[in-house]
Structure 1
């Protein structure tokens, strides 16, 4: 485009010059060796321009003839290079698709058409071909040569790193990744691998420094970098809590500034304040975190912030959490648990059932079972809630890559991924629609059996039979009859109340003119040996004489 513009400007300039000369005619006289040459200015200008063009053409012709061997050689070299690049491109595609035969063929052709020192991709193609064919030693040698060349150092280090990971040589892989980070901290794979190894070894300072370098180099997103830095600060604060509460507090506070919903950071900050006897600040941190992310661990830390508090004080703290976040299952469960500790069973049951209607889960049913055990002791009602807990969705926990942990961890123990743990139900397939869970909770509450009142167990007095024979002056003790052998009618029994749950069956009594009398044992012997069976036939008493 620029050349076309220059050509147009030159053409316009020449046309304007000739028109200017045409409007101003004149003669030019030249005397050379007694010869007088006269011509007009227009003819002289035209001759001058033609002479310039002729000289330029002659110079171009001479230059073309002079450089023709080099041009011919350059033409064939370019053609050969194009064929080599075509073979290299085909070989790379074949290596990527797993066609080892074609990749090896194209690798040999590319090496014959191109020079390896001028085109480093030939070494990469040969290394990839060796990997596909299973010649790992040869592939590692190629990667090592590439790592020695400054132009292909990063590519060679990545190949060596992948080979070390494949063989399980984690220490060698770590060294390759750290070497790559030293030369090029902007490489995502090297920075991520180095960050993972430093976190596994607990080198939180180095991990935070590397993350800051990545953030400055714009390797990762700023929001993601802030989240990861908050996780690293929380991990360091967890280790420093026992020995350095002040440092743990600073790290956890900085983590909360970067990620306000990071529950472990808020709990660590609150515990650090508690160790410094600053309960007001600890409560403020937990309350702010509770408004953003209601979490059962936050509630437990807040309610039990002061070890010397009574059960009523803990109930007041739980009710304050409920006021900060009303109509929330975690708030209701916290109040229910605190009310159970104070023996306020009515409030505990009310809050637990309200939480159950909002979010049916295992812990709510188990809490109701505890309330039944403390209030009524009815085993039937306790088993009812336990059965519902078995069918209820599981409680949320810290889950990462299929691993369920009781406490939060900064990285996954399976894959080493940073910030992998999430607070959720361990198995997503157990989750059901909210309507089904709500209906199940309503059905469980409605089907709760009534309280069963048991009667006291009858106590039988020992029977002493006295004989009229002179030889038997001493009393004889009659042993208690077994459940199979009824007691004779001569024995004196303690009166026993009829159980409230006796069968309703009625038997016709012929002596009373067809009136019916209750049958307390339903035609079977009594279970209690102290209860007299009116239908049993008396037997002679067995006496045991004591001499």
Structure 2
């Protein structure tokens, strides 16, 4: 629309000018080279306009001829660059698709067309990585260090290669150099932080984490969680040597992450040691409401060291009430009830747990209950056997590694905050057996009464055995020694005459001592219990 209006405006201006000249006629005359030229004003103006146009056209042609070599050179450069960029894009796509043959082909084209392009170096390095040529990849990345615009890319590639080869010191050196070049570079800052945490340099890791959080390289919730983990790890290290500093770190960790159970547990222990019972109670209760944990229950039970078993049971009931119907609370109360010898309470709680969420720990507590109430017996061994096949309890796991205690970093990958409280992966062919048996919750059967010892004199009332001739089989063969007198079996004692009857001797125990255990049985029972607990 604008072009049309501009064209109409030009046409209107020309028409107006022509009309103005036509209304004012005149003549133009000049002498040049012996010629006298005389014409009208209109013709003179048109001739002048044509002359200007011809001059401009000739000038343009001359300028084009003058600039043609440079323009031709620029054309070939643009064409080669276009081919190079096309080869680079196709080569990167081939690398992403895993086509090594095409990647090498386009890499060669790009190297011929645009040898100094940064993307060409990147394509060379990625093609070498795809081919498994570690030396070639390192050479390509090292070549990038020579140019400022590709230096950070080269450091990144060298860091990745060093990490893959397990060269921790070299990787740390590349990350540190990149951080000096660009302090806000995310991968370098993250690498330095992870390396400090994996090396258990927790103070250094906390400093780097604060710097990264200030540069907004880490989100605030994640930074708070990681700092709490690092402070908890440091508090665990200082718990025995510097309890004051450890207590301050544990409390700060608890304030940053109230749901972090190890932070609350170590803070509760240190506060209890310092006599701050009320504060320790609040810390443990705050975390228990968010995530009940057996270590928290153990810490809560020991807040008042001088309390009796019944006082601990009362306290555990109050703690369990903060998270009603949670299995950890029920197990904690059951354990305290066993210690307080309130066996019916413990039995009822454990029965509820075993009927709804059976686990090895519940079966082991039932074994402890049977042992505490009735002593080591068959019922205790039965629960130990059921614990072996019962579903597993939650444990601290990190990258498939199972640990009895929490840790700040994974021993497998070195990742920070990797441990989780969860049930480990069960084997697909794990044996399954019913855990709950109604007969096991009732009182144990009474042991059988021992058989009465009948005096030998009472056996004289039995009818005498008829005597007769000795069978031939009973005759003594020649050369056979005479029979050695031996004790008579119980069946023969009834045939003894009153004069031969003797009272039963109690100087030696009977062959079957009954339900009591000997040392081997007790050793076997203890070994089975230890194996089930492990």
Which of 288, 291, 294 is equivalent to 2:289? Answer: 291
Instruction: Say if 2:164 is the partner of 1:153.
Output: no
CA distance 1:65–1:375, change in 2 (3 Å): same
- The TM-score with structure 1 as length reference comes to 0.73
Q: Give 1:106's aligned residue.
A: 106
Which of 258, 263, 267 is equivalent to 2:261? Answer: 263
* Contact persistence 2:198–2:416 (CA under 8 A): no
- Distance in 2 (CA, whole Å) between partners of 1:357 and 1:49 is 108
- Distance in 1 (CA, whole Å) between partners of 2:304 and 2:486 is 59
Q: Give 1:451's aligned residue.
A: 444
Q: Give 2:245's aligned residue.
A: 247
> Pairwise mapping of residues 34-433 of structure 1 onto structure 2 (< 5 A)?
60-116=60-116, 119-377=117-375, 379-428=377-426
- Distance in 2 (CA, whole Å) between partners of 1:324 and 1:9 is 82
> Pairwise mapping of residues 17-28 of structure 1 onto structure 2 (< 5 A)?
none
Which of 502, 511, 515 is equivalent to 1:491? Answer: 502
- Distance in 1 (CA, whole Å) between partners of 2:255 and 2:414 is 25
- Distance in 1 (CA, whole Å) between partners of 2:304 and 2:52 is 103
* Contact persistence 1:459–1:494 (CA under 8 A): no
SS class of match (1:330): helix
* Contact persistence 1:100–1:132 (CA under 8 A): yes
* Contact persistence 1:315–1:338 (CA under 8 A): yes
* Contact persistence 1:111–1:122 (CA under 8 A): yes
Q: Which fold has the larger relative contact order, with Cα–Cα distance below 8 Å and residues 6 or more apart in sequence?
A: 2
CA distance 1:257–1:448, change in 2 (3 Å): closer
Deviation at 1:334, TM superposition (A): 1.1
SS class of match (1:155): helix
> Pairwise mapping of residues 467-506 of structure 1 onto structure 2 (< 5 A)?
481=487, 487=493, 488=496, 490-493=501-504
Deviation at 1:404, TM superposition (A): 0.7
- Distance in 1 (CA, whole Å) between partners of 2:50 and 2:416 is 78
SS class of match (1:115): coil
CA distance 1:313–1:449, change in 2 (3 Å): closer
- Distance in 1 (CA, whole Å) between partners of 2:429 and 2:254 is 31
Deviation at 1:196, TM superposition (A): 2.1
Deviates more, 1:413-422 or 1:55-64: 55-64
* Contact persistence 1:483–1:527 (CA under 8 A): no
Aligned pair count reads 471
Deviation at 1:16, TM superposition (A): 7.3
